[in-house]
Structure 1
């Protein structure tokens, strides 16, 4: 055990350096050596200058021992071949109001957040692979392959608009070319959202040019897990009011600088539920990634803090962002209560929905999350699903000819 922890510690140290500068570019779910050590965007602008960073080599991951592999069966089938919604092209003109936005109207997609959006460990086979970011599989912003192979929000939207841009593909850090408009950074907290919002605005303006002000955009902001995991007591940690202020500052920046935008503001997860996973090794890993959930007194306080975080986000959106026809924010609550999937005829948590660290989503978990977010889009306020139960199955909801719009507070029940 001590040897494993030492190896993890060394890998964390290396990975922090790698996250700032790595001599690999990604392509089609692989990481390949680039010829010059730099990563070029598809528009020819270098976004990584290797001379600025200390180079380190990747740790030799090799083949993990059998008992450290993911519990996700290698024969697991993914994707969706029976998408139930009508994706025929609409004859309606592009709307002038965000409250009349349909899936096919969305041209650009982006995301802000932490490792759950960067998709750390989504296709990891053992514990050290969790430090790799499988951005192309990310529930809210990944766009690898097509929907019949991988279920993500962008892959569903691509059925309505094959010209959708901004989604991530492949595997790699933020500075890799195919991260595109996924500006999430692992370890991020609410205090980092303004910087991410600014980065997203800069990248979209650079890529879209004159079209930037005309494109309808969908941005998903999901952060709070690290804020909560770092919580110690009432005098340390990010207070609920501060959390709200951090999110508001980022949203205000988006409202000023990003016209024609629909923001999914996803509620922070209930990290205390991580303690329910009693799989061997999970407790040790939790002590490294989310200490708050393994200490009885902290865990009790954390439940109250989570409730206050969520109340603050609801009040924030109720007080602001409703009057504009070109910008809106909708709280999507599907992660408020995560019903951990259980193995059949057992009370043990089904680890196939999680990465080997028992914290991040596996590819299977990301697909379930994508379906849950899709459903929240078409559920009116007050009727949105707020429990995430991947094991039960998540039948998709669809826009209809009578109610074609993505739900906002202003369009009320007209959206569904």
Structure 2
């Protein structure tokens, strides 16, 4: 920035101390006229960095130099003295003086959304009581960033460890003005590579100690900005709970700021014509807020935007949304509405994708593969399908790729057991979509599991379309996956107790890491489990022969005499998984954020019917329902034999038991619902 001022003779005369006399200090207030839903805090703590809302930010912090520390951004002319140069309470990135209604800064915007925000600066001076989590210091170069990062970690140690670990943090790094000044004045500034090295070291220190951090980098001239872009493209700095994103606040500020009438806005700068005034800090804060809501590659950088001193602020739901982005541009914005959730479901050690994740998307990063992974795929189309052959797993280190069509056909010779695409080495991997933008994806499921986790489990996995498991004893876990609704059935031969969960083999155990509830548990009997999702896993307590088969013969009219369950579409019942992440597999299902929880039978008759088989019709049955419900909407279980008695299930329920005595015909039907609604209704029957 110093070079810019040296090239333009626009500054007012200065006094003997080199300070420009005060011209009065205009102020900018801020106003958010947004819908309540757009600015609401998430109902549960987000685990995925791509789904963080502005109101989810619990801590705010910054590293940098005098621009970030608020040098000369004072409130009144009489505040200025050699002892009070720093006014961190007015910093564009960290200032918390006043409120949004009186003073526009980034923290005051976030405080408006989350009054519990921690870390913003107050008042004047360099003491920690004033600066709080703003560790920026005047006069510092990029080589000071690692030290500042360590100081920041130490300051976070003053807060409860559990909240530091669980709350999301927005950390701004704006450094480089002094590095550039040295280059301009003395030809001994910081090289691009050195600058990049110092900033990366700081980022690494932060990420190693402060989980759930969104690090927002602000650049200046091209070399600095390019160095920051390269850092954001570094896969080692990106994960599901850490992100680095570059803001382009000063990109087009090649000359001193002009008003819309093309006259220079001298109010933008402090009295030394270098630092930002309080007014200028507010303009920069407004531009930064706007860019935080804009996608990577689509950030507004015009001078007109910077000069806009209107008090109205951009609303999250007024900004164009990107539904997917490349791995090195993970954070498209700080806000994702519930209606814009991706189809993927992210577990601790695995992720499940379906066709909705690839519609109009050129790249889907595989975060679970950063330390190696196993990839399984299931498709319903012919393996020669053009779309599936143009959907490829890509290894950035080797340049090799394998199509999803080929992955889906990988089975062990002589068995129907699936084999994975195994990515052994840590690295950067993505699924690339080489299809035309208007191509339509057929049904598919992709199950990606952390390699070390998979190696620690005794499992076997099958495709629903081909599974024909013989009479051999199973491994501890048998998993079936399907690209659409499917049927998993078995014929009991020997007693063998087991537990069923609607998740992958990484969550099959009773003490599974994601808290996934059981779909059924007990002694092995003949069963027909109709699965309205991508996965089902059987955990066997004894390894005796179990013949199992799979098919896409999903039915809405079922045999009441056989044990089973009915679920809302995509239900997994995993307490520690984001409840808004629901597998969106089925046509007419959940695309667009509204979940149609009706099966094909509901569409025709308005009910899901569970009928007694022909042999059971001769004998009335006592039926027990065990229901877990996460719905805010209601659904109904009805006994169609005994006076059409109805059992209404409303709201959240756990192990809710309903008993029907002497029935021949029961029904369950449910209304439309949006996530986090969902339910599982298990049913068993004995002769009355």
Say whether the fold is shared (TM-score over 0.5). Answer: yes
Structure-2 residue corresponding to 1:48:
none
CA contact (8 A) 1:103 1:406 kept: no
Report the alpha carbon displacement of residue 345 of structure 1 after superposing the two structures with TM. 6.7
Paired residue secondary structure (1:329): strand
- Could you tell me how far apart the structure 1 residues matched to 2:141 and 2:28 are? 31
Instruction: Work out whether 1:86 is the aligned partner of 2:35.
Output: yes
Paired residue secondary structure (1:315): helix
CA contact (8 A) 2:49 2:240 kept: yes
TM-score by length of 2: 0.42
Report the alpha carbon displacement of residue 230 of structure 1 after superposing the two structures with TM. 0.7
Structure-2 residue corresponding to 1:399:
316
Structure-1 residue corresponding to 2:24:
72
Task: Give unpaired runs (5+ residues) of structure 1.
Answer: 9-66, 269-305
Greater shift in the superposed pair: 91-100 or 164-173: 91-100
Instruction: Work out whether 1:112 is the aligned partner of 2:63.
Output: yes
| Residues 412 and 141 (structure 1), Cα distance of their counterparts in 2 relative to 1, 3 Å cut | closer
Alignment map for 1:194-205 (pairs within 5 Å): 194-205=146-157
| Residues 325 and 161 (structure 1), Cα distance of their counterparts in 2 relative to 1, 3 Å cut | same
TM-score by length of 1: 0.68
Paired residue secondary structure (1:219): strand
CA contact (8 A) 1:116 1:360 kept: yes
CA contact (8 A) 1:267 1:310 kept: yes
Considering fraction of residues, name the structure with more helix: 1
- Could you tell me how far apart the structure 2 residues matched to 1:325 and 1:415 are? 15
CA contact (8 A) 1:99 1:405 kept: no
Paired residue secondary structure (2:214): strand
Question: Alpha carbon RMSD of aligned pairs, Å?
Answer: 3.1
Number of aligned residues: 313
CA contact (8 A) 1:70 1:352 kept: no
The one of 380, 394, 410 aligned to 2:330:
410
CA displacement, residues 1-41 of structure 1 (integer Å, 9 cap, x when unaligned): xx965x56xxxxxxxxxxxxxxxxxxxxxxxxxxxxxxxxx
The one of 229, 251, 257 aligned to 1:314:
229
Report the alpha carbon displacement of residue 309 of structure 1 after superposing the two structures with TM. 2.2
Instruction: Work out whether 1:167 is the aligned partner of 2:120.
Output: yes
Considering fraction of residues, name the structure with more strand: 2
Structure-2 residue corresponding to 1:215:
167
- Could you tell me how far apart the structure 2 residues matched to 1:345 and 1:312 are? 34
Structure-2 residue corresponding to 1:252:
204
CA contact (8 A) 2:183 2:190 kept: yes
| Residues 245 and 70 (structure 1), Cα distance of their counterparts in 2 relative to 1, 3 Å cut | same
Report the alpha carbon displacement of residue 405 of structure 1 after superposing the two structures with TM. 10
Structure-1 residue corresponding to 2:249:
334
- Could you tell me how far apart the structure 1 residues matched to 2:296 and 2:309 are? 22
Greater shift in the superposed pair: 127-136 or 309-318: 127-136
The one of 237, 242, 253 aligned to 2:194:
242
CA displacement, residues 180-199 of structure 1 (integer Å, 9 cap, x when unaligned): 00111000110000000110
| Residues 130 and 397 (structure 1), Cα distance of their counterparts in 2 relative to 1, 3 Å cut | farther
| Residues 344 and 332 (structure 1), Cα distance of their counterparts in 2 relative to 1, 3 Å cut | closer
CA displacement, residues 293-348 of structure 1 (integer Å, 9 cap, x when unaligned): xxxxxxxxxxxxx322221211121123564111101000111122533468774x
- Could you tell me how far apart the structure 2 residues matched to 1:109 and 1:201 are? 13
Paired residue secondary structure (2:104): coil
